[in-house]
Amino acid sequence: NLTGKTALVTGSTSGIGLGIALKLAEAGADLILNGFGDASAALAEVGRHGRKVGHHGADVSDPAQIAELFAYAERDFGGVDILVNNAGIQHVAPVEEFPVERWDAIIAINLSSAFHTTRLALPGMRQRGWGRIINIASVHGLVGSEQKAAYVAAKHGLVGLTKVVALETATTPITCNAICPGWVLTPLVQQQIDERARESGDEQQARHDLLAEKQPSLDFVTPAQLGAMALFLCSEAGDQVRGAAWNMDGGWAAR
Ligand code: NAD
């Protein structure tokens, strides 16, 4: 039961972040949503669970805006007990053609943002004597794929950061872990299906081929399933799960 706890989920106006926010609100947590676009649908959906919910539109590629997000969390919610670093972007290109500004953006959003949120969240967690940090990495935090240099580098980096933070909090009631999803059908993945379908003209086939290449189950992971895993990490049963990188990937990393 997470009643009395406040969760901040970055990038939670859609996709996986929203799925995790919903599970945490269902379990009783107050929620701070973050992310671009119109947040009203996400606010209404999470609000249905009857908990306090707010949204802050910080661009997590900017450390100054992350500091503003934490000032808001402190002021309006009394701090962050559960930090879910989820905001992330993708770009697909071979390394020698990879746009330099896309590399920088992916490292900033998918990796550096978690360093900034973590350093700002930890003092309050230590003070209140409890905390959970959950980094949404990827199966690409464990294995590589062609054309995803920045993403794979950032996600491997995020798994590394997870281990260090877990060690630095090992004797405290604060845990830090990573979750490593395989394909989840969100806007981020739909974009990649659309790109494939533009070449073949067949969206169903593009979707099947995308799964068949990597995900032995031939089925997508869902945001709700990832939310349930996050909820487990927040429970007492998760107290001694520390520095782990848990995949939920339909068998991807088993190959
Ligand atoms: P999504 O595109 O549906 O959602 C991304 C969210 O991040 C949105 O709310 C967006 O507004 C927000 N966001 C993007 N840039 C931001 C920024 N600079 N500042 C603040 N918010 C920002 O993507 P998703 O598929 O739900 O991905 C969520 C996380 O899960 C990412 O870290 C992604 O790498 C990871 N992931 C996704 C999959 C997948 O198959 N979809 C697999 C493994 C890991």
pTM of the full predicted structure?
Answer: 0.98
> 131 with 174: CB under 8 angstroms?
yes
Output phi, psi for 240, to 5 deg.
-105, 15
Name the amino acid, one letter, at 247: N
Percentage of the chain surpassing pLDDT 70? 100
Q: Which of 70, 77, 103, 151 is catalytic?
A: 151
Mean pLDDT for 5-17 is 97
Distance CA 127, CA 113 (A): 22
- Name residue, tokens 């670093």: 85
Whether 193 and 208 have beta carbons less than 8 Å apart is answered as no
CA distance 128 to 87: 26
Element (H or E) spanning 45, and its range? helix 40-47
At 18 the pLDDT is 97
Cα 127 to averaged position of ligand 1 atoms, centre (Å): 30
**Interval 150-180: pLDDT, tens:** 999 999 999 999 999 999 999 999 999 999 9
Task: Examine the residue annotation and report whether 72 is marked as an active-site residue of this protein.
Answer: no
Classify residue 220 as left (phi > 0), alpha (psi -120 to 50) or beta: beta
Q: Which fold has domain 6-182+222-247?
A: Rossmann fold (3.40.50)
Residues 213, 194: Cα–Cα separation, whole Å? 16
pLDDT score recorded for residue 193: 95
Q: What Cα–Cα distance (Å) separates residue 47 from each residue in 16, 77, 86, 149?
A: 17, 15, 20, 38
How many whole angstroms from 9 Cα to the centroid of ligand 1? 11
Ligand 1 centre distance from Cα of residue 2 (Å): 24
Where do the domains of the chain lie?
6-182+222-247, 183-220
| Whole-number pLDDT of residue 134 | 99
Torsion sign over Cα 92, 96, 101, 104:
positive
Q: How far is the CA of 109 from the centre of ligand 1 (A)?
A: 9
- Beta-carbon neighbour count of residue 198 at 10 Å? 10
Task: Inform me whether the pLDDT recorded for 132 exceeds 90.
Answer: yes
Can you say whether residue 5 is alpha, beta or left, with left for phi > 0 and alpha for psi between -120 and 50 degrees?
A: beta
**What confidence tier does 100 reach under pLDDT thresholds 50, 70, 90?**
very high
Place 188 in a pLDDT band, splitting at 50, 70 and 90.
confident
Q: Which atom of ligand 1 is nearest to the CA of 36?
A: 11
What is the per-residue pLDDT for 215? 97
Q: Measuring from each residue's beta carbon to the nearest atom of ligand 1, which residues come in under 6 Å?
A: 10-17, 34-37, 59-61, 86-89, 109-110, 136, 138, 181, 183-184, 186-189
When the pLDDT of each residue in the chain is averaged and rounded to a whole number, the result is: 97
How large is the C-alpha radius of gyration of the chain? 18
* End-to-end Cα spacing for the chain: 37
User: Which phi and psi angles does 77 have, rounded to 5°?
Assistant: -125, -5
Classify residue 67 by burial, with Cβ atoms within 10 Å: 0-12, 13-18, 19+: middle
Q: Please tell me whether the interface predicted TM-score (ipTM) of this complex is above 0.90.
A: yes
78 pLDDT higher than 90: yes
- The average pLDDT across 198-209 equals 93
Residue 127: the pLDDT is 98
Closest residue CA from atom 8 of ligand 1: 11
pLDDT in tens, 12-51: 999 999 999 999 999 999 999 999 999 999 999 999 999 9
**Residue labelled with tokens 């972040």:** 17
At 136 the pLDDT is 98
In a mutational test of the pocket of ligand 1, which residue from 139, 188, 193 has the highest number of ligand atoms less than 8 Å from its CB?
188
pLDDT tens, position by position, 46-68: 999 999 999 999 999 999 999 99
* pLDDT given at position 65: 98
CB 55 within 8 A of CB 21: no
